[in-house]
A and B are shown apart, each in its own frame.
Chain A
Amino acid sequence: MAIELKRRLGGIAGQAGSIAVTLFGLLILTFAIGRIMPNDPARAMVGEDASPEVYRAVYEQLGLDRPMWEQFLLYLRDVLQFDFGTSIRSGQPVLHDILHVLPATIELATFAIIFGASFGITLGVMAAVNKDRWPDHLIRVISLMGHSMPIFWTGMIGLLVFYAGFGWVGGSGRMSQFYIGLVPERTNFLLIDSALAGEWEVFRSAINHIILPASLLGYSSSAYITRMTRSFMLDQLGQEYVTTARVKGLSKRQTIWRHAFGNIRVQLVTIVALAYGALLEGAVLIEAVFAWPGFGQYLTSNLLIGDMNAVMTCVLLVGVIFIGLNILSDVLYRIFDPRTK
């Protein structure tokens, strides 16, 4: 027992160490990206017309005259204190800006993953059950299609058809122009805020606006979920207990959903957690198309004007979220799968 505990603690310590090393590497990478950017941050801060003295002062204040390793240590110190610098454009701390826009993206990504997971898992099970028959081939094409679409293009076509054509969904933005500023910002999750304020009109408008981008994003992420579900299910369906269950007289549906599907739930949880992280990538593009005021918009708009602090922090944050989701899916696997105990 004691040996077992020691082994597990050792495992956790080793993992924590490797996470720390990866995080450190992440910081080196973001620092390098920030430093090779062609923009001169001091110049960007003081403007073109500033006198050489003022420029010099800001240059030294930012620590740009010091050697590179010293600058990196300064950056490290700031990051450890959660100080990510000030955005050149807004004049606000970068962290404040990002926390302001992040809920919009989380809202979008969460809706997308709910859609993507339910769609992908259903298709995956159907494909496995009908392996090598026409539904399997059809599902393969449907899911590969979702994986191959340039999502910014699908977003436009979606707007063209469902917004401009049929008028079924709201256009770009999180809600109609008309309602902007009507709901007090508490959590910045629009659906929660509008529900809290009792503004059901706004709530409906928000649902109307989120449905198209979220389902397109979800569709694009469902390809991976479908593929994994299919292969997990095929593993289960090939095993003898499935035959036994059928021989015992269980219906096909019960065998598939209760027995085989029950056994792959753990694996699916980890897959969905990883797919959630991958959604961030599509979110950057879909936010650009739908003028969605989220994290992706913030990143791309600051990239184009060369706001170094903002870009470095965004990249760092995405890296941290990715590592976090990896750890989370690992932990979930350990908790839910009795065999890992």
Chain B
Amino acid sequence: MTMSDTSRATDARRAMPQSLIALRNICVFLARTPTSAFGLIVLGVLIFTAIFAPLIATHDPYVQDLQNTLAPPDAAHFFGTDELGRDIFSRLVHGSRITLTIISLVTVVVGPIGLFMGTVAGYFGGRVDTVLMRITDIFLSFPSLILSLAFVAALGPSLNNAIIAISLTAWPPIARLARAETMTFRKADYIAAARLQGASPARIIWKSIVPMCLPSVMIRLTLNMATVILTAAGLGFLGLGAQPPMPEWGAMIATGRRYMIDSWWLVTFPGLAILSVSLAFNLLGDGLRDALDPKQMMKR
């Protein structure tokens, strides 16, 4: 074990309880704020539904029943049936898996890209910083939906391409944040110590800087999830995201649109599903922002 490893290990050990206490504080704070607690509950329900979708759904989401199309909500079909007689409740339940897939894949792609761009720019500074941040600015100079639209058009409409397109537009804020974080402890003694011991920049960034950026990046990712969900639903609605017969909520609204005037349930329930999930993320994000605001922390 080298010197730097030992010092890092002690650093980590000293830092661990601190961050755990902070995490507990945040959870307590969120649970106490009614709006954030609501957000947490909705997300819990979403994850539960996605995991146990086949058990919760009352019907097969793909099976058509042409004898029973556009049936209003009743005991057999909680949210009614669509134009092909498929059970809307079951489609929504299975659609939660798609939503969860989008969220997790975007997170997995965006986090590393943003971290890489941000930490490298922040650590090296100078010309590297200028170039990388210029690229970030270019991506930032579009509303995310419009840039994803263009990317999906280029790649061809499908759920996977929608996820790629959303990821391509969602990394710049993360990169900015990671850069700002990196700048604050780039000059710290422990980084200088690691450098003097001959650690390569790649090693310093990976072992000493990335772990420090991780918490705030994770929080920022949560905050962005509402936007991601709305963009994905918007792409689905425009026919550029998930393709029928997939029970994606935005796409369900798009097909339900033709029957909207006579059968309100076709568009109402999928929309409520999108609204509640994105509202949940927004409420949670709002709470997190308050929980981490140093001014608020002082008061507690």
Q: Is the CB of B141 within 8 A of A26?
A: yes
The residues of B that contact A285 with a CB separation of less than 8 Å are: 145, 234, 237-238
Please state if B286 and A140 are interface contacts (CB–CB under 8 Å).
yes
Chain A interface mostly helix, strand, loop or mixed?
helix
Cβ of A22 and Cβ of B141 under 8 Å apart? yes
Contact between chains at A33 and B150 (CB < 8 Å) = yes
How far apart sit A164 and B250, CA to CA, in the bound complex (Å)? 22
**Cα-based distance from A289 to B253 in the complex (angstroms):** 11
Give chain A residues whose Cβ lies under 8 Å from the Cβ of B139: 29
Residues 279-298 of B contacting A (Cβ, < 8 Å): 279, 281-283, 286
B245: chain A residues within 8 A (beta carbon) = none
- Among residues of B, the one whose C-beta sits closest to the C-beta of A38 is B156
Known: A37-B154, A150-B250. A322 touches B143 (CB 8 A): yes
Contact A153 B253 (CB under 8 A): yes
Whether B146 pairs with A280 at a CB distance below 8 angstroms is: yes
Which residues from A are CB-within-8-Å of B271? 150, 153-154, 156-157
Interface centre among A18, A148, A149 (most CB of B within 10 A): A148
Of B135, B146, B239, the residue contacting A318 (CB under 8 A) is B146
Question: Is the CB–CB distance between B267 and A153 below 8 Å?
Answer: yes
Binds B, one of A44-52, A54-62, A116-124, A298-306: A298-306
Interface size on A, residues (CB 8 A): 51
CB within 8 Å for A25 and B134 given contacts A33-B150, A148-B282: yes
Q: Whole-angstrom distance from the CB of A302 to the nearest CB of chain B?
A: 9
Contact present for B261 and A33 (CB under 8 Å): no
Is A33 a contact of B151 with CB atoms below 8 Å?
yes
Does B149 interact with chain A (Cβ within 8 Å)?
Answer: yes
- Structural contact, A21 and B141, CB atoms closer than 8 A: no
- Name A residues whose Cβ lies closer than 8 Å to a Cβ of B: 18, 21-22, 25-26, 29-30, 33-34, 36-38, 137, 140-141, 144-145, 147-154, 156-157, 159-160, 164, 277-278, 280-281, 284-285, 288-289, 299-300, 303-304, 306, 311, 314-315, 318-319, 322-323, 326
Question: Residues of B at under 8 Å CB distance from A?
Answer: 35, 134-135, 137-139, 141-147, 149-156, 226, 230, 233-234, 237-240, 250, 253, 257, 260-261, 264, 267-268, 270-271, 274-275, 278-279, 281-283, 286
8 A-B pairs besides A150-B237, A150-B275 with CB distance below 8 A are: A38-B154, A148-B279, A153-B271, A164-B261, A284-B149, A288-B238, A311-B153, A315-B146
